[in-house]
Every structure is written in structure tokens, then in C-alpha cells.
Structure 1
Amino acid sequence: MERPVTSSADSPLSVPAPQGHRLAALHVAGRAPTVVWLGGFRSDMRGTKAERLSEQAARSGHAFLRFDYSGHGESEGRFEDGTISSWTEDARAAIEALAPQGPLVLVGSSMGAWIALRLAMSWADQPGRVAGLVLLAPAPDFTSRLLEPRLTEAQRAEMAQNGFVSEASPYDPRPTVYTRTLIEDGRNASVMTGPIRTGCPVHIIQGMADPDVPHTHALELLNFLPGEGVALTLVPGGDHRLSREEDLSRMEKAVASFLELAQS
């Protein structure tokens, strides 16, 4: 049977996850490079930035892929069972199923930027596989660099006893759950431990009023990226979501520049 290459918003495609369940994905066929949206922790593929990228790809005629990680959005699986490594493999499975050839422009938001970096590093020996990375409020290694240091003694005790801690979320009425497995896997999946060789240009867009990922984290990330082909845009007043009109416009311009570069 021929593999479907186009989905509708009402009927997402079903992609097998490495863990045996199914991932929900939306894919629109078009010309290369394929723009791939990699969402953040507890986000889904129908958010403001993903919708804006879908509209941009439709205007330019480029293929566009977005999906939900296991335990997120419309995909199967339990959120609490997920880790950075497993969600990276979800991303790889969706991309290999629906965008197996041609260059990619990976757009990663928050945790999705961590996953984008890990994918690019794994494909660095395949020249041209990744044409560019657009990283929005990037949060690589957030479990060890941002989460663990702020845990209170009471939370550490709760983690030791129950295997998880939960916190109120400013973005969702449901509490955010952080598991011990997530944190332990995050240490093993760290990328800010040496040179991050992506094999492609990188554009970081970071809000300076981000309450979740401080702009100093993006500055530190720069130390691990090769200097040539790396750009950083610091946005005064920009928050973690970067979903204001001016933020969305910056994202679109960064993506467009990589699309043009790949075709030049």
C-alpha cells in the first residue's frame, strides 16, 4: 500500500512509535526542504507557532510536518512514561516515516530545541540532511541545568519517595509532573557537555523576559555551538512562548532564510 503523505486537520496520520503505540501527525506534502515542528514539554502540535508555520509552508509550497510526542496531545502513551530519549526517538520515527528524504529545517521550541539538537547531531554525518535549526527559547539539558538546581529539599524527598514531583503550571490547569526517570535520562541525554556539531546553521531566538528559560541559558548554549553560521536574536520583553505577532514574524523570517539558503 502506498504510504499517505498528506493529512487533514481533522484526520491526523497515525505513525508507529518505537514503544509500540501510535503517534498522531499532521503532514502536508510539498517541495523540499521540509519544515518540521518540534514542540515543547507538554505542548501539542496545534499551538500558535505550529499553526503559523503551517500557514507559511502553505504559502511557500514547502512540505510541513508536525506531530505529538508520546503522552502529548493526540498521541497514545502516558506522559509520565516519557523521557528526552524516548521523545527524541518519537521525533525520529515521525520524520523517517513522513519525511525520509530531502533536507529538513527543524524548528524546536523549548524542549523541542533540545530534541532538534540531538537529531541534528545524530545526522551530522549525512551532509544536507538538516538544512538549518531554528531554536525558540531553547531548553537543552533543562532537567539538569534548570530543574534540578531549583528543587527544594521537600521536593527532593518527595522525588525519592514517590519517583516524581508535581508543580502547578502557569500554562495548564493540570499540574506539571517531573519524574525521576525523566531527570536521570536527561543527564544521559545532555548535549551541553562539549562541542555540539550540528552540521548546519543555527538561529536562536530567545526572549529576555522568559521566566522559564533565562536568556543566560541561550548565551551559555552559544559556547557549545560552532561560531560560523550561528545567530542569536535576543528579544526585549519576549516571554517563553514567543507567540506575539512580532515573535511569530521573527520565527517566520528565520525559517524563510534557511529555506532560501537550502535552495540557493
Structure 2
Amino acid sequence: MNKFKYLKISKNKQIRYLCNNYKEKTYIIFLHGFMSNIEGEKPKAIFKYAKKNNFGFLAPEYSGHGKSTGTFIKGNISKWSEEVKITIKKVVKKNKFILVGSSMGAWLSLNQFKYFKEQIIGFLGIGSAPEFLENLMWKKFTKKMKNETIKKGIYNLKHGDYEYPITYQLIKDGRKNKILNKKIKSCISVTLIHGGKDEVVPTSYSRKILRLFTKANKKLIIIKNGDHSLSNKHGLKRILLELNKITSNIV
């Protein structure tokens, strides 16, 4: 595994990232999920795939995540999307690239289409979760939870073994980043993979994304017993197989 690097994007903000530089090659960009990082099985497997097949690779870690600087509760979709954009401009430069977005990473990926229309030549979504803050969190909050979030500015949401600090500013910013009512006219390959037993994000979210792409060569794959992360051996194998199909179409 290559050493992680850091990119200073403002006076007091450093983003950690993993990359494999190629001057004139197509890049694969992996965007991780909410409260995740770039040390998981998916970025490792995709990094390895990129190296083996001579693709450039980039996986940025958003502020407040992993070992990037910043406080998680100060982050939001707008800030994280902007950090991704800056990192792409700095590392990938003018090269073409394929976006691979996991969960919230798919939402951040969709936000990149407004900046890099011509450079994006493929998109692979894994358990995609656009607009999850409003639809899968806020709308399911009880009145008491909503009142606490508004009053204190934060609510610590327990989910399984995890606790997610959900700030009111994060919820409000999510509303400014609605993507499911837009249309993306890129003529690219779009593949969405979703676990049939995903208990975090319904498969309908992947179907909604497919509707955004009016001219793409698109498909949805539901992995029968797959969970949300699809980080097990079977899930990773399928992700790499579908990624390979996208890269085969463009090389």
C-alpha cells in the first residue's frame, strides 16, 4: 500500500488522500461514505485494481473524516463536495476519470458533474445515498429528536454500534444539495450496485439515480444477499468486475 499524502487546501485544512499518479492516463476516483475513511476494503481493492491495470487513482478523505484535519460536526455536503473538487483539480488535473462513489460518496460524485462534465467518463455507485440526510434521517426523526437538534444544534444518533453526531447545519445544507430533481446528460457508462439486504439505504435510491441520466448507458445490479457496504469478498469481486466493464468500454 502506498503512503498516504496530504493536500493543504486552506490555511488550516489538510486533506489526506491516496493516489497513484499517471500523467496522461484515465483516473479512477473513489469517494467514501459518511463517517468512513480511505483505509477500508473498497479503496484498497480499487487502488490495487488501478495499479494493476495502469490507471491513475485518487481517494480523498473529507475534512473531519479519518486523518484529514477539521471537525466532523463542522462539515457538510457543500464543504465535502468542494474539497473533492479541489483535490481532483490538484491531482487529476485535466485527465479523464471514472467516479466510484460509496453511499454518501455517490452523492458527492453526482455533485462533481457540474464541475467536470467533460472529464467524467464513467460512474459506479455502491449503495448510493443521495439526499439521505433529509429522507433517511430527518424525516424519520421524532418530534422530540427534531426539537433537540434545532435547540442544541446537534443530535447524537445511535445506529447499531455507531453513534452519528448529526448537526442541524448538516441537515439544512443537505437541502441545498438536492440532486434527484436534476438531469445529467452525459453519454457515459453508469452502473449502480446495491445490496438486496441493505438496511441503511433502500435500493430505490439507486433507481432514482438511474433516472437522472438521460443519455447514459446505464444498469442496476442488486446483489441478492448484499449488505450496505459490500466490502466482503463477494461484494468486492462484483464491484471490480463491473468497474472492469466500464474501463473496458473506454480504453
**Contact 1:18–1:89, Cα closer than 8 Å, also in 2:** no
SS across alignment from 1:67: strand
Match of 1:8 among 2, 19, 37: 2
Normalised by the size of structure 1, how large is the TM-score? 0.89
Q: Give the corresponding residue for 2:47.
A: 54
What amino acid sits opposite 1:239 in the alignment? D
CA distance in 2: counterparts of 1:19 and 1:201, whole angstroms: 38
1:77 paired to 2:70:
yes
Structure 2 regions of 5+ residues with no counterpart?
Answer: none
CA deviation map 1:150-188 (0-9, x unaligned): 11111111112101111124364xx21111111111111
CA deviation map 1:205-241 (0-9, x unaligned): 0111111101122223323322641111011111101
**Contact 2:19–2:59, Cα closer than 8 Å, also in 1:** yes
Structure 1 regions of 5+ residues with no counterpart?
Answer: 1-6
How far is 1:200 from its partner?
A: 2.6
How far is 1:18 from its partner?
A: 4.9
How far is 1:199 from its partner?
A: 4.8
**Contact 1:17–1:93, Cα closer than 8 Å, also in 2:** yes
**Contact 1:27–1:65, Cα closer than 8 Å, also in 2:** yes
Q: Give the corresponding residue for 2:17.
A: 25
What is the percentage of aligned positions where both structures have the same residue? 26
What amino acid sits opposite 1:82 in the alignment? G
Q: Give the corresponding residue for 2:175.
A: 187
1:39 paired to 2:29:
no
CA distance in 2: counterparts of 1:106 and 1:44, whole angstroms: 16
1:110 paired to 2:131:
no
CA distance in 2: counterparts of 1:233 and 1:203, whole angstroms: 8
CA distance in 2: counterparts of 1:70 and 1:130, whole angstroms: 24
Task: Note closer, same or farther for the CA distance 1:227–1:171 as it changes in structure 2 (3 Å cut).
Answer: farther
SS across alignment from 2:160: coil
CA distance in 2: counterparts of 1:52 and 1:85, whole angstroms: 28
1:163 paired to 2:153:
yes
Match of 1:241 among 225, 229, 232: 229
**Contact 2:63–2:80, Cα closer than 8 Å, also in 1:** yes
CA deviation map 1:37-84 (0-9, x unaligned): 100000001101000011111211211111210000010000000010
TM alignment of 1:144-223, pairs within 5 A? 144-170=134-160, 172=162, 175-223=163-211
CA distance in 2: counterparts of 1:112 and 1:198, whole angstroms: 19
CA distance in 2: counterparts of 1:171 and 1:137, whole angstroms: 20
Normalised by the size of structure 2, how large is the TM-score? 0.93
**Contact 2:106–2:126, Cα closer than 8 Å, also in 1:** yes
